[in-house]
Amino acid sequence: MNNQKLYTVIIAEDEKLILNSLAKKIDNSNMGFKVVGLAEDGLEAYKLVKQYNPHVVFSDIKMPLLSGLELYKLISEKYPHIKKIILSGYSEFSYAKEAIKLDVKEYLLKPIKPDQLLKTLADLRIILDKEFDVLKSTPLDLKRGGNYTSEQISELVEKYIIENYSQDINFEFIAQHFGFNSVYLSRIFKKHIGKNPCKYLISLRLNMAKHLILNSPQLSIKEIGKMVGYPDQFYFSRIFKKYMNISPGSLRTR
């Protein structure tokens, strides 16, 4: 499965042994998931969600500062596209009932069985692949002269870039996806967002790459490049150095 898309994961669990063990199992599952953030309390988990905008969050129900359900309420409001998995040693129906309301995809009881985890990852992979294929093949119902203002269109495009920067997209693809002429879309995007959309995409990717290089030593430079939308390691290193004035490897070792 070397050519599969890579989906990012954040885990929130206050028991460090379980946290590290689960991260290792997900990374080694060969299912196309990469753990990019670990948190031992709910607030830290939410900060990581805002930093990484991951595809999936695994969270324990019982955690300090912010419970798993409270965390998922925030995620549902701000990041509805993120898939949510509950971890718990508690099998009470009330927890499961609340989790269902928050569109939690799975409710895993600890200790988590390996086959149960692999099935959950396989199910997530199917859902995420389908969603990406639909996004990539079906233009949104946005047409110039419709009910959307240029500001709303720009905000929707910005949201799309933020949610899909790690995928194989460029601005021409985005313009086609939204059904607009690229020159027109670029002009209104820059007017309302303040930056050329191509530069916005590059800046988002490289700033995320910089964060991963400095804070995720377990990830190789090649893996980081792939995670931020640059599967070609040499191209990633070249564009990173061009905009950041330092190579990815030098940034990590300085």
Task: Write out the two tokens for 53.
Answer: 């905008």
> Tell me, what's the pLDDT at 94?
56
Q: How does residue 144 score in pLDDT terms, banded at 50, 70 and 90?
A: very low
Answer positive or negative: Cα dihedral of 8, 214, 40, 46. Answer: negative
Give how far Cα 228 sits from Cα of 96, 103, 143, 218, Å: 34, 27, 29, 16
Backbone angles phi and psi of 38, in degrees to 5? -125, 135
Among 11, 33, 7, which residue's Cα sits nearest to residue 22? 11
| Concatenated DSSP letters of 99-141 | HHHTT-SEEEESSPPHHHHHHHHHHHHHHHHHHHHHHHHS--S
Answering whether pTM is above 0.85, one says no
- Beta carbons of 174 and 138 less than 8 angstroms apart: no
Give how far Cα 2 sits from Cα of 145, 210, 219, 223, 238, Å: 44, 24, 16, 12, 23
Average pLDDT, the chain: 82
**Domains in the chain, CATH or no CATH each:** 7-134 (3.40.50.2300), 142-254 (1.10.10.60)
Q: Which residue has the higher pLDDT, 133 or 218?
A: 218
- Beta carbons of 193 and 209 less than 8 angstroms apart: no
Q: Is 185's pLDDT higher than 50?
A: yes
* HSE-up of residue 114 (Cα within 13 Å, Cβ side): 5
Residue 58 pairs with which residues in a beta bridge? 11, 85
What's the pLDDT tens digit per position in 109-124?
Answer: 778 888 888 888 888 8
Q: What is the DSSP letter of 5?
A: P
Q: Is 170's pLDDT higher than 50?
A: yes
Local structure of 1: helix, strand or coil: coil
User: Average of pLDDT values for 36-57?
Assistant: 89
What's the pLDDT tens digit per position in 55-111?
Answer: 899 988 888 888 878 888 888 877 777 888 888 776 554 555 565 555 666 667 778
Q: Is 45's pLDDT higher than 80?
A: yes
> Tell me, what's the pLDDT at 102?
54
Rounded Cα distance, 251 and 64, in Å: 34
The burial of 100, by beta-carbon neighbours within 10 Å (0-12 exposed, 13-18 middle, 19 or more buried), is given as: exposed
Q: Is 10's pLDDT higher than 80?
A: yes
What's the pLDDT tens digit per position in 222-254?
Answer: 888 888 888 888 999 999 999 999 999 998 887
Percentage, residues of the chain above pLDDT 70: 85
> Tell me, what's the pLDDT at 138?
46
> Tell me, what's the pLDDT at 1?
45
Rounded Cα distance, 178 and 191, in Å: 18
Q: Which residue has the higher pLDDT, 178 or 45?
A: 45
Task: Write out the two tokens for 237.
Answer: 């290193």
